[in-house]
Amino acid sequence: MSGIYIHIPFCKQACHYCDFHFSTSMGKKDAMVNAICKELELRKSEFEDETVATIYFGGGTPSVLQTNEIELILNSVRTNYTIIDNPEITLEANPDDLSEEKIVQLAASSINRLSIGIQSFFEEDLKLMNRAHNAAEAEKSLQLARQHFDNISIDLIYGMPNMSLARWKENIDKALGYGIPHISSYALTVEPKTALAKFVDKGLVSPASDEEAQEHFNLLNETLLDAGFDCYEISNFGKPGYYSKNNSAYWQQKKYIGIGPSAHSFDGVRRGWNINNNPKYIKSIEKDILPMEVEVLSATDKYNEYIMTGLRTIWGVSLNRIATEFGPKFKEYALLQADKFIEEHLLYLDDETLKTTKKGMFLADGIAADLFMVNLR
């Protein structure tokens, strides 16, 4: 089973912390929708032998599209690919786009999962992040979404400047109050060249310390586990039956095609990425040229990627799979490097599978870096 990711590169305004690819000018929206439909057609041979199980509209802000534009794109998927009977079709949406009319239209379309970018229920946080929505819109969008969708995820950000543990707890409790079955939650990171990075440089805001961010994560983890969620990936919490099938497939190294500017693709051997420039993307597709660069992953690259994604998830890293796929040297190396983390109770061995403990989960990236292989081919 494989997935299709579709990047919608438009946003109403730039959030201060964001380094994704998007444009705030909607002038080329029609041309972009046409180019996306055409890229789907141009690349259909890549999935000749595959069946699509998940379709994911990410961005940017896919909810800036009209429902008929979403359907145009989905029609192109249906025309050019084989799809399972009941695919997971997710739309990332921002609260300010989710009027009652829009939600009703989306519920009547083939979209069956909404991922709503709430980020915070507090005005102060939303202003600091320069989100396009306010706190009232955040709540209203959830009330409406709950009436029309069962499979809903929301994004929440922790580790924000001046965010007390009590305010973070209120954010989590509000999300739980709406009965949302899936929460994606990320620590605010200061990415280079963002407005937030400039504010930090000028001393206008100071980001939360690593210890504060870890405290926020621990509170999130404990509260959500108590509420019946699984932390199935460091940033993703789902009730049983509500894990994101799309993201789970990425973490399990399944194939996916990424459509649209800046979208990444993976075919099991090669990773590709589309140009991250809207006009150049459109021009290239209009000329039937895929604006994509490709790199062939070495065994070391694939091993490192498996370590990185595996340790961040509840599925862990299978030593037998490492031995079979990469060879016994890789397995020996992983075990040797894991030893100190096992002693520190950050990792444990479960039936030949290395997994992070509850305490180790937040530190998964650092632990993975120690298990990475350098230059052994």
Q: Of 12-20, 279-287, 297-305, 344-352, which segment contacts ligand SF4 by CB under 6 A?
A: 12-20
Q: How far is the CB of 195 from ligand SF4 (least distance, A)?
A: 10
- List beta partners, residue 156: 119, 185
Number of residues that bind ligand SF4 (CB under 6 A): 11
Q: How far is the CB of 130 from ligand SF4 (least distance, A)?
A: 8
- Of the candidate residues 4, 6, 8, 11, the single one contacting ligand SF4 (CB under 6 A): 11
Residue keyed to tokens 């399972």? 84
- Of the candidate residues 59, 95, 260, 310, the single one contacting ligand SF4 (CB under 6 A): 59
Torsion from C-alpha of 364, 367, 369, 373, nearest 10 degrees = -120
Q: How far is the CB of 164 from ligand SF4 (least distance, A)?
A: 23
Q: How far is the CB of 19 from ligand SF4 (least distance, A)?
A: 8
Cα 348 to Cα 109, 138, 325, 330, 344: the distances in Å are: 45, 39, 22, 18, 10
Burial of 289 by CB count in 10 Å (0-12 exposed, 13-18 middle, 19+ buried)?
exposed
Nearer to ligand SF4, 130 or 253 (CB): 130
Q: How far is the CB of 364 from ligand SF4 (least distance, A)?
A: 23
Q: How far is the CB of 94 from ligand SF4 (least distance, A)?
A: 6
Nearer to ligand SF4, 59 or 159 (CB): 59
Q: How far is the CB of 246 from ligand SF4 (least distance, A)?
A: 17
The answer to whether residue 18 forms part of the interface with ligand SF4 (CB under 6 A) is yes
Q: Other CB atoms closer than 10 Å to residue 297's CB: what's the count?
A: 16
The answer to whether residue 159 forms part of the interface with ligand SF4 (CB under 6 A) is no
Q: How far is the CB of 90 from ligand SF4 (least distance, A)?
A: 15
Interface pattern 88-117 for ligand SF4 (x via CB under 6 A): ------x----------------------x
User: Which pair of structure tokens corresponds to residue 206?
Assistant: 């100071």
- Of the candidate residues 4, 6, 8, 15, the single one contacting ligand SF4 (CB under 6 A): 15
Nearer to ligand SF4, 69 or 92 (CB): 92
Nearer to ligand SF4, 117 or 272 (CB): 117
- Of the candidate residues 5, 22, 121, 341, the single one contacting ligand SF4 (CB under 6 A): 22
Interface pattern 112-141 for ligand SF4 (x via CB under 6 A): -----x------------------------
The answer to whether residue 60 forms part of the interface with ligand SF4 (CB under 6 A) is yes
Q: Of 16-24, 177-185, 206-214, 237-245, which segment contacts ligand SF4 by CB under 6 A?
A: 16-24
- Of the candidate residues 61, 248, 313, 318, the single one contacting ligand SF4 (CB under 6 A): 61
Q: Which residues bind ligand SF4 (CB under 6 A)?
A: 11, 14-15, 18, 20, 22, 59-61, 94, 117
